[in-house]
Amino acid sequence: MDIACSKEELKLFERIGDAAQKMDVQCYLIGGFVRDKLLGRPTKDVDIVCTGDGIALAHNVAKTFVQPPQVNFFKNFGTAQFRLNGLDVEFVGARKESYTSDSRKPQVEPGTIEDDQLRRDFTINALAISLNKEDYGKLIDPFDGTKDLEAKIIRTPLGPDVTFSDDPLRMMRAVRFATQLGFEITEDVFEAIKRNKGRIKIVSQERITDELNKIMAAAKPSVGLDLLFRCGLLKEFFPQFTDLSGVEIIEGKGHKDNFYHTLQVIDNTAAKSNDLWLRWAALLHDIAKPATKRYEDGHGWTFHGHEVVGERMVPKIFKQLKLPQNEHMKYVAKLVLLHLRPISLTKEDITDSAMRRLLFDAGDELEDLMILCESDITSKNKVKVKRYLENFEIVKERLKAVEESDKIRNWQPPISGDEIMQLFNLTPSREVGVLKTAVREAILDGIIQNNYDAAYALLVEKAKELNLTPIAKL
């Protein structure tokens, strides 16, 4: 065996080889497992292909264990899978495929190992290692995949137009592997993606977004996002994002290219956090700049309100991309809305109450918001960036000090809405909201102290204006 495997893996391969021999079929390790082992990347997904019934082989291997793992199988696809000590082992019968133009789903018939390798997406994913007695451990590499691994290139076994037209998801996979592995897509493959980009419409959005999220989770997402942009795929399924690109110049004044600015912000964020949703907030933070762009005479380019319009665009984009409509979406929307706030605090003469307001509005998301905002400081001018970052540090220190003294994050005002209703014998109504807001605002602005008595006194004052009298002090 040319690859480094654990004792456990080697024992498993022996069992698989024995079971296949008993069935009189050939079996091989293939795909991502072989690729990642050769690259020295950690991998837990073992892909096995056999020249016969993959489901039967999976069952026969499982049976050899004292405590057989549970085999899950999909008759329609001829695949089976079981988990074994953290390994995810997948079996499939070698197959030959032919495609029609309107579907990703091929017609399938049993084939040889060579047929099977030929239907794989990239040469680096078509490498096989024999688990058969006669040539156990032999690497079968009909398309020079090992050479491509060394040269770090993404190439297709068939002509790339055929590969991509047959299954357009492979275009997304090409970009994803280039991003994850730091590989180059060969020029003819890249040109083929440009030609076939329109075919992506036959792929479900869930599959596209799956690949997009793998790109977003990579160490440097900008690599993949830029490739998607340049080959034209990105515009096919995410035009709001590509609308950020380009620079307009009026009276000699240009604005920055917000697409490339956004890529930089995503990378900056990715360098500080692995959180996928924080990276999505970085992707979407300026999404409403095209919609809010104005040229103001004598002043220059403005994007007033882009954070508010952007917040509203988030649910629509999540729906379109089939991203989850849950707390992750709310989190992203919140960060988009607040993304300018910390930087606005770097100005001079900022009061403690402005700090308190941000602490209150950001709540649990403060740290992530600060990462996003700091990542948003990009400019070609290094001196400018340095000065901004220094001012930003001062804001961080002040936020910390205000939080330590006032404990505003996740703070609840000293009198709740329920208590207000009891105090004034009110049912849920506009008045309750007015009174509640008055207390909260007065405390955040530092007009009254953060305690029950001060809040009560203010409520009584406010209530007079609304012709209400308290019936009880709690």
Q: Tell me the closest approach of the beta carbon of residue 301 to ligand ATP, in angstroms.
A: 41
Nearer to Mg ion, 174 or 287 (CB): 174
In DSSP terms, 79 is beta-bridged to 74, 92
| Residue 45 is a binding residue for ligand ATP (CB under 6 A) | yes
Nearer to Mg ion, 73 or 360 (CB): 73
In DSSP terms, 128 is beta-bridged to 30, 140
The residue from 3, 21, 32, 132 that contacts Mg ion (CB under 5 A) is 32
The residue from 47, 236, 267, 376 that contacts ligand ATP (CB under 6 A) is 47
| Residue 45 is a binding residue for Mg ion (CB under 5 A) | yes
Determine the interface stretch with ligand ATP among 107-115, 117-125, 330-338, 387-395 (rule: CB under 6 A): 117-125
120 binds, among ligand ATP, Mg ion, none (CB under 5 to 8 A by kind): ligand ATP
The residue from 3, 32, 256, 365 that contacts ligand ATP (CB under 6 A) is 32
| Residue 31 is a binding residue for ligand ATP (CB under 6 A) | yes
CB 255 within 8 A of CB 301: yes
| Residue 267 is a binding residue for ligand ATP (CB under 6 A) | no
Interface size with ligand ATP, residues (CB under 6 A): 10
Nearer to ligand ATP, 166 or 307 (CB): 166
Question: Which residues have a Cβ under 8 Å from the Cβ of 397 and sit 6 or more positions away?
Answer: none
Q: Tell me the closest approach of the beta carbon of residue 32 to Mg ion, in angstroms.
A: 3
170 binds, among Mg ion, ligand ATP, none (CB under 5 to 8 A by kind): ligand ATP
125 binds, among Mg ion, ligand ATP, none (CB under 5 to 8 A by kind): ligand ATP
Determine the interface stretch with ligand ATP among 67-75, 132-140, 164-172, 337-345 (rule: CB under 6 A): 164-172
| Residue 116 is a binding residue for ligand ATP (CB under 6 A) | no
Nearer to ligand ATP, 92 or 438 (CB): 92
Nearer to Mg ion, 37 or 199 (CB): 37
| Residue 121 is a binding residue for ligand ATP (CB under 6 A) | yes
Nearer to ligand ATP, 207 or 272 (CB): 207
Nearest-CB residue for ligand ATP: 32
Residues 169-208 that bind ligand ATP (CB under 6 A): 169-170
Return residues touching ligand ATP (CB under 6 A): 31-32, 45, 47, 120-121, 125, 167, 169-170
Residues that bind Mg ion (CB under 5 A): 32, 45
